Structure 1
Amino acid sequence: MDRRVIEMNCTTCDSPLLDDVDEATVDFYRAVLQTLTRRRLPFLVGGAFAFNCWTGVQRPTRDLDLFVRRDDFEAIAQALRDAGHEVELTFPHWLGKVRAGDEYIDLIFSSGNGIAVVDDEWFDHAGDATVFEVDVRISPVEEMIWSKAFIMERERYDGADVAHLLHAHAARMDWERLLRRFGPHWRVLLSHLVLFGFIYPAERHRVPADVVERLLGRLQGELHAPAPVERLCGGTLLSREQYLGDVEQQGYQDGRVAPFGNMTEEEVALWTEAIPERPSAAAEGA
């Protein structure tokens, strides 16, 4: 496979992302970006591409994530089908895929927990980059933190990504928008801000003190308030697998499901069915 250099030129940095990708994969990625650009269909490049651009952290990837509004998904899917690509709506609550053989691109319009819905504000605050020689827009830092902060699976934890985004942009971020994004899930944001001071003690000043104080004030208020009546498990917003026992066996209400979350019981069931099978404990210890 040819070693490729993908130049990422965003509004804040010039960060090359290196990875081993073959020519057919490069052509597939570029063709999808060009098709959507020519048709003037709105999308944002996210994932590792945007992360490398915003932070300068050199993390190789062969994955390409495009963020789109749900209302635009059908038009985008049809344009790509017209261009000869295979498109599927993989999980109706958050994700579709564009396929070319074994390669694919994710079309993301929410997060797996149904919280971080892609809306107009993602586009209003997006950055600019060049990916595979195509001028594109990239996901904004605040929305990347919002979506990544909830990813705490056994096999994947995006806390380091959140810390690196804070390290690079805390002084310039729209903290009011970020606080509004987290809304009732502010404890998740607070946990990452506390960890940031642990990870980078000399840089903890980058997070505005008044933001932390406001969140700590909410925490202090809850410490002296009666506990909620509902037996809710918010853990399912952090991991689709590790808190299933609490919901299925302990009688807790699923934090992803309305009225607490944005998902339906059917969407949760479909998302749960897709959890990869794991080796048994005996096999793992062998």
Structure 2
Amino acid sequence: MASTEGPALAPKAPSSELKTRVLSAIVMIALALAAAYWGGWPFALFWLAAGIAIMVEWADMTGAEPRRIVQTVFGLGLVALTLLYLSGGSFVIGAVTGLVFLALGALITKGSREKLWAASGFAYAVVIVLVPPMVRDYPEIGILGLIWMFAVVWTTDIAAYFTGRTLGGPKLCPAISPKKTWSGFFGGLIAATLAGCLVVWLGGSFGVTHSFSLGSTIALSMVASVASQIGDLAESALKRHCDVKDSSHLIPGHGGVMDRLDGFWAVSLIIGIILFVTHGAS
């Protein structure tokens, strides 16, 4: 008897998925580097868009309600902070503005736990919106520091993935991310440290002035690599809590913007704290 069922849909080939991921990664890297080269308002708007996307994904995952109103309020807050930064507004004005929008968005969110989740999402997005432009504009760091951040985070991600797949071994944190291994962790750490040192060395070779010694570069690169992997695990924990696979489906082959920037967010947080302490002490 002939089957009356239609043909089953064939799963997407692994090579096709890898191709999609690679092409998406190339586009994202090209956009990030082009925006970094331009600097100024194009770069700030690039990270504003990333921050808004992250905030929207966070609210969608955690179930903030009324969803669109909360997202609109927080989105306007991120726009206001970007405009204040571009116009040279003071830290005090920026801090007050951020707190006002954080409080307003949390106030209109229903549920006490949901209020905390919503406020956390806005604070998370603020780091991505403000720190990269600050690093780009900082006189003693500038584009070299930004490329160093890119290199450390990207190398950590790539090296950890391929080292883990190749060597395998004990799991890093199976309760949160079953595929991550200790071999991947150390592979990413070593490769990222080498990449960070290479960026700083090349910068000096091309006449980009900086005050980074070899020891400080190694230490900062190692800290940033570990932070990047912790940021990745933290986002995996959030997705498990919210019972979702990806933060969204915005980027083909990669999931959402938050999925791609979780490690970079953690490094941005550390660099932002360092800049704040340095600026406050000067």
More strand by share: 1
TM-score by length of structure 2 reads: 0.23
Higher relative helix content = 2
TM-score normalised over the length of structure 1: 0.23
